[in-house]
Amino acid sequence: MLLFEDPVFASRMLSLLTLSIHAIFATLGVGLPLMIIIAHWLGIKKNDEHYLLMARRWARGFVVLVAVGVVTGTAIALQLALLWPNFMEMAGHVIALPLFMEVFAFFFEAIFLGIYLYTWNRFDDQRKHLLLLIPVAIGATMSAFFITTVNGFMNAPTGFQIIGGQMTGVSPIEAMFNPATPTKAAHVISTAFMTSAFVLAALAAYRLLKGAQHVYYKKALHLMMVVGLIFAIATAVIGDFAGKYLAKHQPEKLAAAEWHFETMEGAPLVLFGILDDEQNVRFGLEIPYALSILAHNHPQAEVIGLNEFPQEWHPPLFIHYLFDLMVIIGVWLVLFSFVYWWGMRRKWTIVTSRWFRRLIVASGPLAMLAIQAGWWMTEFGRQPWILRGVMTVEEAATQSPYVGHLFFFFLALYLILVIGVVVVLRNINQRFPLEQDLAHEGGERPWITK
């Protein structure tokens, strides 16, 4: 089996596994603090206990997700050096700064999260307690930013020169603010906010479908759909910038994602389809000029095709499907949440109907799926490079023959963790039903502390 024979392939698969699991928890870890802040702040501003309660109930689930996020994050932090020692030895000279700062941001977040969670009853003034959450949100967002700059560097290495195989003339700041950083970081952060909002909206919609009547769920649903809409629009706009970045700096990734082989002006955008052996797209949906517009904002602009690059530098062509999946879900979420928002303003009955709520329930997992598809596309789209143009994945990986075996140990570990999280999150809902939380209002509040 390839996994046991080839340490390079095994290292790739283990990294894929760890990062895919981590992406779930990291996305929610970055997005949820902002949602909790919004609810907490609205609760204070409107003097509405329901929003304060939302903050508390979300915070409970957030703890569980953070715990597992820390665990999987620790795993990937260590695996970077264990699986890719040659890469870390080389790139460490240039990207240590953002990695280091990411840990600081994480540190900051960890400290204030601990304080926030265990001091619900220690402030008479809820505003003081809200203040504690701001460093948590800043820390979470900043760590997303710093770690994304590292990934940006791998896509667009800058800030050093290679002379005789050695990296010299290093500029840590230039490496951090490489050409990929602005669009990548903005896209990652806005999708994290968007996804968290849709996941929370999905939970509220699920409760309502299950027969819950309480106005609390309607408030939660409405708030999160509106926040989701805002960040879905932001994500789409930033996604467009990201496409333009690719056209300029990583044309082979865009070309592979779009199955665009010949350089041409007025390039069409292909949706779906199957590729045959002669690079002909069959059953595809072709939108004329769209790729030129996506890449350069001009219908006649020239878009570089994949055939301009040597065969061994081609990314795998299946990233086309991942790109389609991400974009389709993104567009759907924008339109869908817009219909919801408009419908609520217009008091349309369909937006409160059962089938519409089922669609809301689906939107949470869909957003998460788009996150995964997006990361897979960007990472597979960088093949065969680990540092584009500098170091290939092959050169970077460990030579240890045991990676294939470790893959299964980690697979088992993550399975247990994911199942555990699902079970625990369900338990929380049973142990703290809304009615019980509401009954505690004004009285003693055993929210988090036991």
How far apart are CB 422 and other proteins at their closest, in Å? Answer: 11
The continuous run of DSSP H or E covering 442 comes out as: none
How far apart are CB 61 and other proteins at their closest, in Å? Answer: 9
Encoded tokens for 57: 């109930």
Residue type at 251 in one-letter notation: P
How far apart are CB 253 and other proteins at their closest, in Å? Answer: 27
Residues of span 274-333 touching other proteins by CB under 8 A: none
Segment interacting with other proteins, rule: CB under 8 A, options 199-207, 227-235, 376-384, 424-432: 424-432
Encoded tokens for 23: 């992406």
Question: 352 or 400: whose CB is closer to other proteins?
Answer: 400
Q: By CB under 8 A, name the one of 23, 75, 242, 303 that touches other proteins.
A: 75
123 counts as binding other proteins under rule CB under 8 A = no
Q: By CB under 8 A, name the one of 161, 279, 353, 427 that touches other proteins.
A: 427
Q: What are phi and psi of 51, to 5 degrees?
A: -70, -35
143 counts as binding other proteins under rule CB under 8 A = no
434 counts as binding other proteins under rule CB under 8 A = no
Residues of span 388-417 touching other proteins by CB under 8 A: 398-400, 402-403, 406, 409-410, 413, 417
Place of tokens 């926040």: 227
362 counts as binding other proteins under rule CB under 8 A = no
17 counts as binding other proteins under rule CB under 8 A = no
33 counts as binding other proteins under rule CB under 8 A = no
Segment interacting with other proteins, rule: CB under 8 A, options 115-123, 253-261, 290-298, 304-312: 115-123
Encoded tokens for 144: 């997303």
DSSP assignment string, 116-169: HHT-TTS-SSHHHHHHHHHHHHHHHHHHHHHHHHHHHHHHS--S-EEETTEEES
Place of tokens 């080389």: 90
Encoded tokens for 225: 């759909």
Spatial separation of the C-alpha atoms in residues 41 and 287, rounded to whole Å: 45
Spatial separation of the C-alpha atoms in residues 395 and 334, rounded to whole Å: 41
Question: 264 or 417: whose CB is closer to other proteins?
Answer: 417
Q: By CB under 8 A, name the one of 2, 5, 46, 118 that touches other proteins.
A: 118
Residues present in the chain in total = 450
Spatial separation of the C-alpha atoms in residues 373 and 369, rounded to whole Å: 6
Segment interacting with other proteins, rule: CB under 8 A, options 61-69, 181-189, 304-312, 328-336: 61-69
Beta bridge partners of 33: none
How many residues belong to the site for other proteins (CB under 8 A)? 75
Q: By CB under 8 A, name the one of 27, 79, 155, 392 that touches other proteins.
A: 79
How far apart are CB 385 and other proteins at their closest, in Å? Answer: 19
445 counts as binding other proteins under rule CB under 8 A = no
Segment interacting with other proteins, rule: CB under 8 A, options 46-54, 100-108, 294-302, 435-443: 100-108
Q: Which of 29, 117, 12 is nearest to 73 (CA)?
A: 29
Encoded tokens for 16: 């894929």
Segment interacting with other proteins, rule: CB under 8 A, options 109-117, 227-235, 354-362, 366-374: 109-117
Spatial separation of the C-alpha atoms in residues 46 and 23, rounded to whole Å: 34
Encoded tokens for 14: 């283990």
Spatial separation of the C-alpha atoms in residues 163 and 397, rounded to whole Å: 23
Spatial separation of the C-alpha atoms in residues 109 and 134, rounded to whole Å: 9
Beta bridge partners of 150: none
Q: Where are the alpha helices (DSSP H) in 84-118?
A: 85-117
Residues of span 157-196 touching other proteins by CB under 8 A: 167-168, 170-173
How far apart are CB 157 and other proteins at their closest, in Å? Answer: 15
Q: Which of 158, 155, 154, 152 is nearest to 182 (CA)?
A: 152
Question: 170 or 317: whose CB is closer to other proteins?
Answer: 170
Spatial separation of the C-alpha atoms in residues 155 and 386, rounded to whole Å: 8
Spatial separation of the C-alpha atoms in residues 313 and 310, rounded to whole Å: 6
Q: By CB under 8 A, name the one of 2, 5, 46, 104 that touches other proteins.
A: 104
Segment interacting with other proteins, rule: CB under 8 A, options 101-109, 208-216, 261-269, 271-279: 101-109
Question: 85 or 299: whose CB is closer to other proteins?
Answer: 85
Question: 338 or 432: whose CB is closer to other proteins?
Answer: 432
How far apart are CB 448 and other proteins at their closest, in Å? Answer: 8
How far apart are CB 53 and other proteins at their closest, in Å? Answer: 17
Residue type at 225 in one-letter notation: M
